[in-house]
Amino acid sequence: MALKQKGTDAAAAADPKKRRRVGFSGIDVGVEANECMKVFIARNPDEVGSENSITLQPFDLNHFFGEDGKIYGYKNLKINVWISATSFHAYADISFEETSDGGKGITNLKPVLQNIFGENLVEKDEFSKTFSKECEYISSVVTDGNVIKHDASTDKDSAVEIVRVELQGAAAFLYCRLVPLILLLVEGSTPIDITEHGWEMLLVVKKAEQASSNSNFLVLGFAAVHHFYHYPESTRLRISQILVLPPYQGEGHGLRLLETINSIAESENIYDVTIEDPSDYLQYIRSSIDCLRLLSFDPIKPALSSMVTSLKETNLSKRTSSLKMVPPSNLAETVRQKLKINKKQFLRCWEILIYLNLDAEYRKSMDNFRACIYDRIKGEILGTSTGTNGKRLVQMPSNFDEETCFAVYWTQEGGDADDQTVEQQPEDLKTQEQQLNEVVDSQMEEIVEVAKNVTSRGKDKLGDSCSVSC
């Protein structure tokens, strides 16, 4: 880690006869880490120190620097960090004009950077040497793993492989080197406990061209997955972390990882596959993949056709009748057994599949579809329309924000219905209705976006599904 001071203080130190001006400075307001710190990927030694390297976009650097996310005591501070694409070591170059305590102290940058990058953080000379010294490191991890072959929906690059390794030994050490990228690029992430039994990692690697790289392989992305016990004698598979490195995003590697995990789950008869706290984009990709799998899954087609017909023929506009847009109870279990899609994910995909089989130009069926989404969300938040299961939402007076403050409580079953009902004012009901519709609109947007992606990626499968339901 290099610290370079430049400007007035440095000049004064070089010329002791030069007189320095004395004055009163204002209170130090600090500078946000997001404004003065940049992170780059260096693919070779020539890119070290160059701001023309590939720039990473961390979701938020501020949260590493205290509660307010600011750095104090530096004038014109600039922090550049380069991460090796070969070994994942890091080098930090820090420059500033001067330091002064403006009332908030002077932030000690070294422990903060070490907290992010750990033992990966090295000096420039050592960092440059890692491109040659560590060139065989990833190759040894890949060689000890198992190459996974599967039928992917994306065009295959013959140089790209997915390798499965247990998180122990050299593979565990490689994961530790990847942790800083996880902390920087995945919001709310924390390192997994690699000492716990059942962890493994799927690496997306590419055979490097020897003319441009000293390493036999480059890591393009990875997924950390955990096998854990499911009663009485099966195993569930949870995706804990999945990341494609920024230089290689948009090339379908995340899709390959998810498809490979699904393939492993089916071939090894895993109970089901879950994802730990997925981001919106990961959920979008996951739902797109699962919907494509379900479109060619014959057991769901009769129930799907029946549901689509009901939406076309039922009139829900006057709310004199109701329709629950749920699959038969045994269908979710069939999907779990065959495709390893868990129930919650299947119900999410079920609504998307129904939307795909409706004519967007046919107003009645689309209105009915939205009404079913509305009823489901209302039931999840407030309880069912017929009984609410004793759940009540009551507007609460508050000096903070009277429009957003409310309380949810449950009443005992079996009591007087009149005693259990809380009278709501018309303006309260209007606000509640508005908030519900906003949630429904957001859910509809998510369904439409996934449906568009499925349509563009699987026209043949979609055609087969439509021919069954229409």
| pLDDT tens digit sequence for 270-301 | 999 999 999 999 999 999 999 999 999 999 99
Q: Which residues pair with 70 in a beta bridge?
A: 32
pLDDT of residue 414: 45
Domain identity same for 321 and 448: yes
Domain identity same for 312 and 245: no
pLDDT of residue 419: 47
Domain identity same for 339 and 376: yes
Model pLDDT for residues 212-238, shown as the tens digit of each residue = 455 578 899 999 999 999 999 999 999
**Catalytic positions:** 276
Q: Where are the beta strands (DSSP E) in 391-455?
A: 391-395, 406-410
pLDDT of residue 439: 94
Domain identity same for 164 and 261: yes
Domain identity same for 94 and 153: no
Higher pLDDT, 467 or 425: 425
- The pLDDT of residue 388 is above 60: no
pLDDT of residue 412: 54
Gap between the Cα atoms of 7 and 250, Å rounded:
42
Mean pLDDT score of the chain, rounded to an integer?
84
Is 6 domain-assigned? no
How confident is residue 415, by pLDDT bands cut at 50, 70 and 90? Answer: very low
Lowest mean pLDDT among 23-37, 129-143, 395-409: 395-409
Gap between the Cα atoms of 141 and 138, Å rounded:
5
Antiparallel, parallel or unpaired: β 37-42 and 54-55: antiparallel
Antiparallel, parallel or unpaired: β 37-42 and 90-96: unpaired
How confident is residue 393, by pLDDT bands cut at 50, 70 and 90? Answer: low
pLDDT of residue 417: 45
Domain identity same for 121 and 157: no
What average pLDDT does the segment 174-198 reach?
93
pLDDT of residue 94: 96
What average pLDDT does the segment 327-344 reach?
96
CATH no. for residue 99? 3.90.360.10
- The pLDDT of residue 210 is above 70: no
Specify whether the CB–CB gap between 185 and 297 falls below 8 A.
no
Peptide bond into 247 cis (omega under 30): no
What average pLDDT does the segment 434-455 reach?
95
Model pLDDT for residues 41-80, shown as the tens digit of each residue = 998 889 988 888 889 999 899 999 988 999 999 999 999 9
Identify the domain containing residue 302 by its residue range.
Answer: 297-385+439-453
Is 109 domain-assigned? yes
pLDDT of residue 1: 73
